[in-house]
Chains A and B, each alone.
Chain A
Amino acid sequence: MTTIALRVNGSDVDVEADGAELLADVLRDRLGLYGTRLGCHEGVCGTCTVLLDGVPVRACLVLAGQADGATVTTVEGLAEGDDLSPLQAAFVEHGAAQCGYCTSGMLVAAAALLRDEPRPSEARIREALAGNICRCTGYVKVVDAVLAASGGGEE
């Protein structure tokens, strides 16, 4: 066991963890941030996407030790207090979530996209979300929601 220092969703935390533990397990089991979900444990489905120092990563491929000293943003860090973020609100408005299991990772990936590219095209959104598999929605409403949150797609 070792102490891992993280800044998670704006708060500094020291976590006792095995350095070889997955970041996903640290977030879920040690910090109770269950919004980060695991879909494949091998970095393919994108469901466990979090921001590590601002960069979208698969939390199932990052070891706790690698994250020491890093800033982490999970789905729980996206809402603005009691209010959903505009991106989250757009997901509600467009019915972009179904079972919700992939949604956390989808939101985190989309939030990173909109931060870096505030007005992405539909093709760019599809490309940016291509690392996140959804089995329920066929992506149509997800893409619509991200477009709407970017202020695009209003015409």
Chain B
Amino acid sequence: MTEAGVPSAGRGEGGLSGIGTSVRRLEDPRILRGASEYVDDVPAADALHVALVRSQYGHARLAGIRTEAAARMPGVAAVVTGEDLGPANGPFAHPTWFDARPALKAAIDAMLQPEVIRLLAVERARFAGEPIVAVVADDRYRAEDAARLVEVDYEPLPAIVDPERAEDAGAPLVNPDWGTNRAGHFRVMKGNPEAAFRGADVVVRGRFTIPRQTGAPIEARGVVARPDRRTGGLTVWSSTQAPHWLRDALVASLGLAENQLRVIAPDVGGGFGVKSMVYPEELLVCLLARRLGRAVKWIDTRTEHFLSSIQSRSQRHDVELALRTDGTILGLRDRYLVDAGVSNVEALVVPYNTTAHLQGTYRIPALEVECTIVVTNKAPLSAYRGAGRPEAVFAMERILDRAARALALDPVELRRRNTITADEMPFDAGILYRDGNPLVLDGGDYVACLDRAVEEIGVNAFRRDQAAAREAGRYLGFGVATYVEGTGVGPYEIARVTVEPSGGVVVTVALPSQGQGHQTTLAQLVAAQLGIPLERIRVVQGDTLALAYGGGTIASRTAVVVGNAVHEAARIVRERALALAADALEASVTDLRLEDGRAVVAGSPDRGISLGALARRVAPGVGRLDDSRALALEAQAAFEPQTVTFANGVHAAIVEVDPATGFVRVIRYVVVHDCGRVINPMIVDGQVVGGVAQGIGGALLEQLLYDEGGQLLGGSYMDYGMPRATDLPPIEVVHLETASTRNPLGFKGVGEAGTIAAGPAIAAAVEDALAPFGVSVDAYPLTPEVVHRLAGAGARSGPA
């Protein structure tokens, strides 16, 4: 079910393609014919192919590497170790290690170890899957065959795998030069937690564990790098969420100028955060292309992807909540540990997101948070859809359910009593956001959202069904979880809108797409201003040569930051087009309308001029150069958000649990969410539902496990439980719209929303289903094995 409020305010002249309309995606006809172009499809028949020899151990000294046999194989162009690369191997400052704002660092007394990136491991491998040797051959088959002939002498070293033991005396050190495995630490205080806990009627405590998971896009990573003889540099195609960050990293690692590099993100087959980091493999392939003077290509295998692309979540929380008997929250304490694996590559991004989102939709007068980040011998940690928020919401929502039980209150009622009301907006949460600004929730009716979710799923009727089912020996459960999400993070994005001589429009933005439908939604914003058919608008994105400045498609930011920049550029073009048309048609601007690619005089549609003709009138070099702002019917604009804008929502789930098999079936799943004004409800719906699917997969199936030597147990889709069509229920979505006050278009981001609250909603529902067994759900995924064990442990003391 979709309830799409179509906003009327501020609507342009885009008619049926304007903001708030579910127009069909412009991307689709190409995709459905199989004609999209991912990095593996970029023409590169002449390219050399790279196969990588990766560490077979979680931690090992590399005593010797023998490459001669591989180098002798026919078709092999080069076999390269880190030592062979010399200084070009790095280490370099990690390109996606974003140091925190000084104001934030000071406020939270943050300690952070700067991270580095090296292309190939030298002397020591620090995680299973770390690249050690690159084999370059004239085709992929030969490269892989030759890679098998490389001999690496490993001297296995003790690995540190358990994050709880990372700071034990004598623990193996991931980075001996640090002298510790502690990669970071910070504290956040608000109000007077000590007094809050002293004065509490009830204090509930819990230890909650969020597993190690990953985005696992169906297209893995890949790079094609081609020397450009004209610039002496490279053209690079990479399956990345942030071509500009890769370009900047190549400037640093290859010593080239930006203008010698063109980095393109072609069609990208899913990202989810996994492709937001700059990888050693990307830098390596580019370096090899330069050294060999040939196009060089590397396509990740699925196993390589699981072993060496970023992983996420992986937190353990010790939470205490102080309440009055009526359920009023007085204070919250959370001490949590983040297992960064070999590298905490985005610094505070994930760990501090957790703190920033912990209080969620609730009024919490006193807060004390302490976070410790440790490194271990696993693949590196960075953002995966939600990026620290699912962890926060799991900790908070689980402790609330525990409190509800302790106080014998209905979990929904406990939440309602503590939920920030619409009257309290904007609400100062009393701490800083990750961008260093005060965390002030900007708007939304959180109570209405909660009530709507409970009503949609029919919790009262469900309670009757549940009781009847229990009589019949079936175990049904209901769970609810709420969240906020800071979206649309800065610092800025730029957009350029150009009317072409024949009347088409090109929209140029930096950020690439990984399936979000930007070609359509950004075109809708332009159509709304310029009144031209969507089919005549082309969005150019993800190409560093097209726009020199830009960030990444991350953090639910494109609609907010790029969208508002596109809108502003289109608005300027519109103004200019109307002024030009007024001159051409000898009419007043107020009498003109832009529709169907033309400026027309209202009431006399025959008096008009096409946008193309207007564009040609101002093209320079034909004696019409004037003193206006642009040389053509074109404008460039930036949007710099002051801070993030908060989307919010509620997830409600009904599950059935079979205690005998441990199997959990999700029967109903309702999402009520508010991402501000919606551009395209169909696309937003798809983002939310897809996010929920990842969240449910995470709640029930997915986990990356390592053995004590640092070996990943299972590196394929066979082992990592990605949800399939038969694993998921239909997902019902209700859109509420509270326009953001923090950007002209009133948008809030939505890319990650669906993923954030699924873990705790499902966990609560499973706990509720198994209530007769007295079960506490403190961790996920809730695989059949885990649930069976939980129910069994409860059953030993007998169903209550």
Q: Which residues of A contact B (CB under 8 A)?
A: 18, 21, 28-29, 33-42, 44-45, 47, 74-76, 78-79, 84, 88, 91-93, 95, 97-104, 107, 125-127, 129-143
Contacts and interface: CB of A to CB of B under 8 A. Distances in A.
Nearest to B216: A135
Contacts of A47: 218
Contact of A138 (B32, B517, B693): B693
Contacts of B267: 99-100
Main SS of the interface on chain B? loop
5 contacts: A91-B32, A126-B725, A133-B717, A135-B215, A138-B728
Contacts of A103: 31-32
Contact of B270 (A18, A41, A135): A135
B724 interface: yes
Question: Which of B31, B301, B724 has the most chain A CB atoms closer than 10 A to its own CB?
Answer: B31
Nearest first, the 3 A-B pairs at minimum CB distance are A35-B34, A101-B269, A138-B693
Nearest to A21: B141
Interface residues of B, number: 57
A125 B724 CA distance: 12
A74 B517 CA distance: 25
Contact of B29 (A36, A84, A101, A139): A84
A39 B222 CA distance: 12
Interface in B680-724: 682-683, 685-686, 689-694, 716-718, 722-724
B447 interface: no
Contacts of A107: 32
Contacts of B685: 95, 141
A40 B716 contact: yes
A98 B716 contact: no
Nearest to B682: A95
B37 interface: yes
Contact of A93 (B24, B718, B723): B24
Contact of B725 (A33, A45, A92, A143): A143
Given A41-B301, A127-B726, A98 B40 contact: no
Contact of B217 (A21, A38, A101, A127): A101
B34 A75 contact: yes
A61 to B, nearest CB: 13
Contacts of B270: 98-99, 101, 135-136
Given A44-B718, A95-B517, A138-B731, 17 more contacts: A21-B141, A33-B34, A34-B37, A39-B218, A45-B302, A76-B34, A76-B35, A78-B33, A92-B28, A95-B686, A99-B514, A103-B32, A135-B217, A138-B689, A138-B723, A138-B754, A139-B725
Contact of A140 (B220, B724, B730): B730
B52 to A, nearest CB: 15
Contacts of B730: 140
Contact of B716 (A36, A42, A100, A102): A42
B27 interface: yes
Nearest to B32: A88
Interface string B26-48: 01110111111110110001000
B34 A133 contact: no
Contacts of B689: 137-138, 140-141
A37 B38 contact: yes
Interface string B273-302: 000000000000000000000000000011
Given A127-B726, A142-B725, A99 B33 contact: no
Contacts of A34: 34, 37, 40-41
A102 B731 contact: no
A139 B727 CA distance: 10
B379 interface: no
B515 interface: yes
A39 B219 contact: yes
A41 B302 contact: yes
Contact of B25 (A40, A44, A97, A104): A97
Nearest to B754: A138
Question: Which of A47, A127, A131, A135 has the most chain B CB atoms closer than 10 A to its own CB?
Answer: A135
B40 A100 contact: no
B49 to A, nearest CB: 11
B518 to A, nearest CB: 11
Contacts of B514: 99
A9 to B, nearest CB: 10
Nearest to B385: A135
A101 B716 contact: no
Contacts of A131: 724
A40 B33 contact: no
Question: Which of A40, A127, A130 has the most chain B CB atoms closer than 10 A to its own CB?
Answer: A40
Contacts of B722: 133, 135
Interface in B495-541: 514-517
A67 to B, nearest CB: 17
A115 to B, nearest CB: 17
Nearest to A142: B725
Contacts of A40: 302, 716-717
B501 to A, nearest CB: 28
Contact of A42 (B37, B40, B269, B302): B302
B750 interface: no
Interface in B714-758: 716-718, 722-726, 728, 730-731, 754
Contacts of B215: 135
A42 B33 contact: no
Nearest to A102: B218
Given A37-B38, A102-B218, A137-B693, A126 B33 contact: no
B657 to A, nearest CB: 21
Given A93-B24, A99-B270, A101-B218, A35 B724 contact: no
Interface string B416-453: 00000000000000000000000000000000000000
Contact of B694 (A75, A91, A135): A135
Nearest to A143: B725
B332 to A, nearest CB: 32
Contacts of B141: 18, 21
Contact of B33 (A45, A84, A139, A143): A84
Nearest to A106: B725
